Structure 1
Amino acid sequence: MIHPRTLLGAALVVLTSVSQAQDSHRGDWLRNPAMGNYKAYAEFKMAHYAEAREVWETLAEVGNGDALFNLGILAEDGLGEPRNMKKAETLYTSAAQAGNFKAQYRLGMLYSAGTLLPRDVEKARVFLTLAAHGGDRDAIATLATLGQPAASLTPYQRAEFLGASGEHTKAAALYRQLAEAGDRRAQTRLAWMFEAGRGVPRDLSEAALRFESAAVAGEAEAQYALAVMYRTGKGRERDVAQSLVWLRQAAGQSYPPAVAALASSQSAGVGL
């Protein structure tokens, strides 16, 4: 008969090993935040939200803007946790202050729309200006029409405001119309919606098709997303060589996550 103390000792050994492995992973992510974010995004694509959150929370502890922004997405959409716009606002603000242009743009849109967060045109202007100074083309276009009647907005801008107002089904329908007319930005936005199940049923295969269409048309954000799909085998059959092709194309357009991921893999002397 196995003595209880023997079982307890074995359990403690297992728990210690798990803890040491977790600490090792945390150390790896902190030493190489770009690869940590890449791993977390891959987990996100597979709907492994708890695993993605673990990585992003580790990086958020040291003020990583990408991680803070992505945690905001989880909170806003209620992915793997209860939906919490106040928490999302706090995370987006921290990410924006860390220089994340996506968070700056998202806050600008949320404050401008005034549905999911209280309307505040001045805050919207501040965050959109920050994003515009960073070269975000959508922020630049939105600043030009901030405070103007809805009739003055382009169809793409109307879709963006619908999304910022939580009307994701209507936003997806408008993005679809624009994508079918050849708008690669709208195609990319719609692909994200299929990936997250925002306003449309979650469908990784459909997301991959739309990311690829936008990527071939030269959209850096879509090229990066497609690279991760080929790397993880989610939405596309796993193909590391193809992943590197798209990652390099996105990095060649100075898309920040792609630049960071490619530089990290090269400095480590390994492929992704």
Structure 2
Amino acid sequence: MNRRSFKSIVVGGLLALVLSSTNAQDSTAADWIKNPAMGNYKAYAEFKMANYEAARHIWEILAGLGNCDALFNLAILAEDGLGETQNMLKAESLYVAAANAGGFKAQYRLGMLYSGDNPNFPKDLEKARRYLNLAAAGGDKDAAARLASLDQPDRPATDYERAELLASSGKHAEAAEIYTRLSQLGDIGARTRLAWMYEAGRGVERSLEKAAELFMLSAKAGDAEAQYAIAVMYRTGKGQRMDKSESLRWLKQSAAQNYPAAIAAMAAEG
């Protein structure tokens, strides 16, 4: 379960692809409340098409239910100013709500933000350690690595960690440059991280085609997170042609490596 930091919108949102027999694209608020996974999927589909207002509407409904993925995704919109004015105070409160609801993505994100140098986010190493410990306890190796760095301030940060800190400081373009270099050197995790950036348009020009290319390279190299992302693309027809059999094939490979979202999806298939 390596490098499961900021997973764009996919990780929390796509479970409905296998959870529901209803077409999520035609779903309603009543459907989302009954099956939050379906709502998260539809919102993610809207996000991929840069329909941020539509995505926000759905996530706000789910956030009212305490859904940690919806809260996390709303925080991303606020942090990056997607479809709204950038508001880091709002992002912080949403990340905290998501983390306290058990969202590992939010726990890691808060750990990085509180320990970074974002001029618009309050630095607080005590809070950073608290949330990083929660994420690390859930198996996040990046959170564990960041904790080790905080405990050993004289230890040089790895290039990957530097990229994560740059991203947490709002320097997405600089982070993307490092991920690109690491990817070219064969770092599979960095390549997957770069793919998420292309999908979300963070620090690079938004390109589903480029994201799909990078995800596929990492998926073929055995990265469980990328395999899950490819499964999602085949299921939605966004970034790959729609092919449910291919989607299931990649989903099985991801689940075989104990990737949580894939395991849950396979269980729902079951």
User: What interval of TM-score do these two structures reach, taking the shorter chain for normalisation?
Assistant: 0.7 to 0.9
Spell out the pairing of 1:125-204 with structure 2 (5 A cutoff): 125-146=129-150, 148-149=152-153, 152-204=156-208
The TM-score normalised by the length of structure 1 is 0.83
* Structure possessing the higher relative contact order (Cα contacts under 8 Å, 6 or more residues apart): 2
Whole-angstrom CA distance in 2 between matches of 1:254 and 1:126: 25
User: Which deviations, in whole Å up to 9, do the C-alpha atoms of 1:17-58 show, x marking residues without a partner?
Assistant: xxxxxxx72222222222332332222222222222222222
Q: 1:131 to 1:173 in 2, by over 3 A?
A: same
Gaps of 5+ in 1: 1-23, 268-272
| Post-superposition offset of 1:151 | 6.2
| Post-superposition offset of 1:261 | 3.8
Please say if residues 237 and 243 of structure 2, whose CA atoms lie closer than 8 Å, have aligned partners that are also in contact: yes
Please say if residues 35 and 261 of structure 1, whose CA atoms lie closer than 8 Å, have aligned partners that are also in contact: no
User: Which deviations, in whole Å up to 9, do the C-alpha atoms of 1:209-247 show, x marking residues without a partner?
Assistant: 111111222222222222222222222122222122222
Gaps of 5+ in 2: 1-26
Spell out the pairing of 1:1-272 with structure 2 (5 A cutoff): 25-115=28-118, 116-146=120-150, 148-149=152-153, 152-264=156-268, 266=269
In the alignment, which residue of structure 2 is the partner of 1:17? none
| Post-superposition offset of 1:171 | 0.3
| Post-superposition offset of 1:103 | 0.3
Q: 1:253 to 1:105 in 2, by over 3 A?
A: same
In the alignment, which residue of structure 1 is the partner of 2:19? none
SS in 2 for 1:146: helix
The TM-score normalised by the length of structure 2 is 0.84
| Post-superposition offset of 1:208 | 0.6
Whole-angstrom CA distance in 2 between matches of 1:188 and 1:98: 26
More displaced 10-residue stretch of structure 1: 178-187 or 25-34: 25-34
Whole-angstrom CA distance in 2 between matches of 1:141 and 1:92: 21
SS in 1 for 2:102: coil
Whole-angstrom CA distance in 1 between matches of 2:255 and 2:42: 17
User: Which deviations, in whole Å up to 9, do the C-alpha atoms of 1:171-217 show, x marking residues without a partner?
Assistant: 00000111111111111111111111111111110011111111222
Please say if residues 75 and 83 of structure 1, whose CA atoms lie closer than 8 Å, have aligned partners that are also in contact: yes
Q: 1:43 to 1:256 in 2, by over 3 A?
A: farther
Aligned-partner residue type, residue 194 of structure 1: Y
In the alignment, which residue of structure 2 is the partner of 1:3? none
User: How many equivalent pairs are there?
Assistant: 245
SS in 1 for 2:82: coil
Please say if residues 121 and 147 of structure 1, whose CA atoms lie closer than 8 Å, have aligned partners that are also in contact: no
CA RMSD of aligned residues (A): 2.1
Q: 1:31 to 1:150 in 2, by over 3 A?
A: farther
Please say if residues 42 and 229 of structure 1, whose CA atoms lie closer than 8 Å, have aligned partners that are also in contact: no
Please say if residues 72 and 87 of structure 1, whose CA atoms lie closer than 8 Å, have aligned partners that are also in contact: yes
Structure having the higher Rg:
1
SS in 1 for 2:143: helix
Whole-angstrom CA distance in 2 between matches of 1:46 and 1:261: 24
